[in-house]
Amino acid sequence: MIIVMKPEAKEKQLKEVCSVLDSLDLGIHISKGAQVTIIGVIGDKRKLSDVPLELMPGVDKLVPIVESYKLASKTFKPESSVVSIDGIEVGGKEIVMMGGPCAIESREQLIEVGDAVKASGAQFLRGGAYKPRTSPYSFQGLEEEGLKYMREVKERTGLKIVTEVISQKSVEIAEKYVDMFQIGARNMQNFYLLREVGKTKKPVLLKRGLSATIDEWINAAEYIMSEGNYNVVLCERGIRTFETATRNTLDISAIPVVKSKTHLPIIVDPSHASGKWEYVLPLSRAAIAAGADGLIVEVHPNPRCAVSDGPQSLTPEKFSTLCDSVKKMVPLIDRTFNID
Beta carbon nearer to ligand PEP, 17 or 188: 188
Nearer to ligand PEP, 126 or 259 (CB): 126
Closest distance of CB 239 from ligand PEP, Å: 10
Instruction: Tell which one of 232, 238, 309, 335 touches Mn ion (CB under 5 A).
Output: 309
CB 207 within 8 A of CB 266: no
For residues 230 and 81, is the Cβ–Cβ distance under 8 A?
Answer: yes
Helices (H), 182-248: 191-198, 214-226
**Beta bridge partners of residue 96, listed in sequence order:** 294
287 binds ligand PEP (CB under 6 A): no
Radius of gyration of the chain (CA): 21
Give the range of 2-10, 180-188, 222-230, 275-283 binding ligand PEP by CB under 6 A.
180-188
Label the pairing between strands 180-183 and 160-164: parallel
- At a CB cut-off of 8 Å and minimum separation 6, what does 338 contact? 94, 97, 121, 122, 123, 327
Q: What is the smallest separation between the CB atom of 187 and ligand PEP, expressed in angstroms?
A: 8
First to last CA, the chain: 42
300 lies in the site for ligand PEP, by CB under 6 A = no
Residues 292 and 270: their CA atoms lie apart, in Å, by 11
Binding of ligand PEP at residue 233 (CB under 6 A)? no
**Angle (CA) 145 148 151, round 5°:** 155
- Pick the binder of Mn ion from 71, 102, 185, 206 (CB under 5 A): 102
Instruction: Point out the residue whose Cβ comes nearest to ligand PEP.
Output: 184
CA–CA separation, 285 vs 325, rounded Å? 8
Least distance to ligand PEP from the beta carbon of 164, Å? 6
Residue of 1, 95, 102, 153 interacting with ligand PEP (CB under 6 A) = 102
Among 214, 269, 283, residue whose Cα is nearest residue 96: 269
For helices 144-157 and 107-120, the axis angle rounded to 10 degrees is: 40
Question: What minimum distance in Å lies between the beta carbon of 298 and ligand PEP?
Answer: 7
Instruction: State which residue, 71 or 102, has the beta carbon closest to ligand PEP.
Output: 102
Binding mask 196-225 for ligand PEP (x = CB under 6 A): -----------x------------------
Contact call for residue 128 and ligand PEP (CB under 6 A):
yes
Q: Does 294 bind ligand PEP (CB under 6 A)?
A: no
The listed partner (Mn ion, ligand PEP, none) that binds 39, CB under 5 to 8 Å by sort, is: none
Q: Do 317 and 256 meet the contact criterion of CB atoms below 8 Å apart?
A: no
Region from 9-17, 155-163, 182-190, 330-338 binding ligand PEP, contact rule CB under 6 A: 182-190
| Residue 264 to residue 101: CA distance in whole angstroms | 26
Q: What is the number of the residue whose Cβ is closest to Mn ion? A: 102
- Nearest approach in angstroms of CB 287 to Mn ion is 17
Contacts 24+ apart (CB under 8 A), 15-20: 16/56, 16/57, 16/58, 17/53, 17/56, 17/58, 17/59, 20/51, 20/53, 20/56
Q: Which one of ligand PEP, Mn ion, none is in contact with 237 (Cβ closer than 5 to 8 A by kind)?
A: ligand PEP
Q: What is the largest CA-CA distance in the chain?
A: 68
Q: Which of 259, 263, 272, 300 binds ligand PEP (CB under 6 A)?
A: 272
Residue range at the interface with ligand PEP (CB under 6 A); choices 136-144, 178-186, 189-197, 286-294: 178-186
Residues that bind ligand PEP (CB under 6 A): 102, 128, 184-186, 207, 237, 269, 272
Residues that bind Mn ion (CB under 5 A): 102, 309
